Amino acid sequence: MWCFVPNQVQFRHFEKSELNSGGRLVDNQQKRRSKVKIKGFEVAIGLLMVVVLGSFGPEWGFWAHRRINRLAVYRLPPEMAIFYKRNIDYLAENAVNPDRRRYAVVGEAERHFIDLDVYGDSALTVLPPYWTQAKEKYGEDSLRKHGIVPWYIQAAVFQLTEAMRQKSPTRILRLSADLGHYVADAHVPLHTTRNYNGQLTDQVGIHAFWESRLPELYAENYDLWVGPAEYLPNPGKAIWEAVAGAHAACDSVLAFEKELTGSFPNDRKYTYVERNRVLVRTYSEEFSARYNSLLAGQVERQMRASVRMVGNLWYTAWVNAGQPDLAPLADFEWDAEEKSKEAADQQTWLQRLLKIRPEAEDN
Ligand SMILES: [Zn+2]
């Protein structure tokens, strides 16, 4: 994932077992706070947001998602840019919403990955490219258990196309921001394997190493500018090709780290850095540089491909919706009602995440 981040090797909160359990962190937070009655709900949520997000780690996974959405806007034709550029900050800021929801909303977590190797070596040929056929063949529960990102992106494109048809600015923005997130996740090699954190090959921590530590060290030099958006006549096919490309990269992601570890003194593999005023163990710059050089620009390539695909899918949805005139939406402002709905949505995620009872019941 370009997900929840942590450069901290020892924070393994992105592991599915932890997602399923809801996380000890949550319970601890709740315990600590259970005796404190806070009446100002918004203030409480704000504080808890800081605590929770701060506990999960710093901003690098977030940085990648935000950057991908932001750069995708610059790929759009003027007819779309007139609306998207005006809302570029929203699209960047909300690129991380799906990761915030994944700990709180049932059904969210599986939208971020697919464990292709669960389906054997021929996964890409045996898995039906479309959701209905896939459900018939494997059953929905089984599919969801192993991740549904390639199918969910297709559904998101469909929803975005409908929102474009309806010329609904709020829906277009929400769906575009979310779509950008799932597309970026689908380009992360370790989002396509059940060995998603090297836990099956004694390489625990590699997930954050690839998606957070390497961008932290090297993203400044990435060239993420790609050309204008292109129409995709078959979005489903393009999405599956992207997932296949990410999966093909898994071998090198894992093998190079293993190879390097074998030839590297253990005391030089890791170092300690300060994160949120806490010293945490992470991969040393020396080890990271060697690994990055073996990967030969892979992280940058995958980020570029994400930017390209996000722009292409936004553009394709607009074309398929009949190229609606977005100019009248350009002056759109979130009104009070929409703003409060956004805030309510976020409160709902946090309430579920932190298991807070609504104030009305809290007496
Ligand atoms: Zn994600």
Lowest mean pLDDT across 75-89, 110-124, 142-156, 338-352: 338-352
Q: How far is the CA of 361 from the centre of ligand 1 (A)?
A: 32
Q: Contact at 8 Å (CB) between 272 and 284?
A: no
Q: How far is the CA of 265 from the centre of ligand 1 (A)?
A: 33
Instruction: Identify the pLDDT of residue 352.
Output: 59
Instruction: Identify the pLDDT of residue 96.
Output: 93
User: Number of structural domains, the chain?
Assistant: 1
Q: How far is the CA of 191 from the centre of ligand 1 (A)?
A: 9
Q: Determine, yes or no, domain membership for 355.
A: yes
Q: Determine, yes or no, domain membership for 210.
A: yes
Q: How far is the CA of 1 from the centre of ligand 1 (A)?
A: 5
Q: How far is the CA of 82 from the centre of ligand 1 (A)?
A: 28
Q: How far is the CA of 37 from the centre of ligand 1 (A)?
A: 33
For the stretch 9-22, what's the b/e string if a residue is b when 16 or more beta carbons lie within 10 angstroms of its beta carbon?
A: bebbbbbbeebeee
Q: Determine, yes or no, domain membership for 1.
A: no
The pLDDT tens digits of the residues spanning 53-98 come to 333 333 447 889 999 999 999 999 999 999 999 999 999 999 999 9
The pLDDT tens digits of the residues spanning 246-282 come to 999 999 999 999 999 999 998 899 999 888 889 989 9
Q: How far is the CA of 11 from the centre of ligand 1 (A)?
A: 16
End-to-end CA distance of the chain: 40
Q: Determine, yes or no, domain membership for 5.
A: no
In terms of pLDDT, which residue wins out, 13 or 234? 234
| CA proximity to 349, closest of 6, 183, 101 | 101
Q: How far is the CA of 104 from the centre of ligand 1 (A)?
A: 13
Q: pLDDT band at residue 305, thresholds of 50, 70 and 90?
A: very high
In whole numbers, what is the pLDDT of the chain averaged over residues?
Answer: 83
Q: How far is the CA of 15 from the centre of ligand 1 (A)?
A: 12
Q: How far is the CA of 113 from the centre of ligand 1 (A)?
A: 8
Give how far the C-alpha of residue 137 lies from the chain's centroid of Cα atoms, to the nearest Å. Answer: 27
**Whole-angstrom distance, CA of residue 210 vs CA of residue 68:** 16
Q: Which CATH number do you get for residue 178? A: 1.10.575.10
Q: How far is the CA of 290 from the centre of ligand 1 (A)?
A: 27
Please name the residue that has the structure tokens 């799906």: 98
Q: Which domain holds residue 276?
A: 16-361
Q: How far is the CA of 76 from the centre of ligand 1 (A)?
A: 24
**Whole-angstrom distance, CA of residue 289 vs CA of residue 353:** 37
Q: Determine, yes or no, domain membership for 108.
A: yes
pTM: 0.81
**Whole-angstrom distance, CA of residue 53 vs CA of residue 302:** 26
For the stretch 301-337, what's the b/e string if a residue is b when 16 or more beta carbons lie within 10 angstroms of its beta carbon?
A: ebbbbbbbbbbbbbbbbbbbbeebebeebeebeeeee
Q: Contact at 8 Å (CB) between 205 and 198?
A: yes
Instruction: Identify the pLDDT of residue 335.
Output: 77
Q: Determine, yes or no, domain membership for 264.
A: yes
Q: How far is the CA of 362 from the centre of ligand 1 (A)?
A: 32
Q: How far is the CA of 178 from the centre of ligand 1 (A)?
A: 10
Q: Contact at 8 Å (CB) between 186 and 2?
A: no
Q: How far is the CA of 4 from the centre of ligand 1 (A)?
A: 7
**Whole-angstrom distance, CA of residue 11 vs CA of residue 15:** 9
Q: How far is the CA of 263 from the centre of ligand 1 (A)?
A: 33
Q: Determine, yes or no, domain membership for 342.
A: yes
Q: Determine, yes or no, domain membership for 3.
A: no
Q: How far is the CA of 99 from the centre of ligand 1 (A)?
A: 5
Q: How far is the CA of 287 from the centre of ligand 1 (A)?
A: 26
The pLDDT tens digits of the residues spanning 307-342 come to 999 999 999 999 999 999 999 998 888 877 677 777
C-alpha dihedral (339, 83, 314, 168), degrees to nearest 10: 50
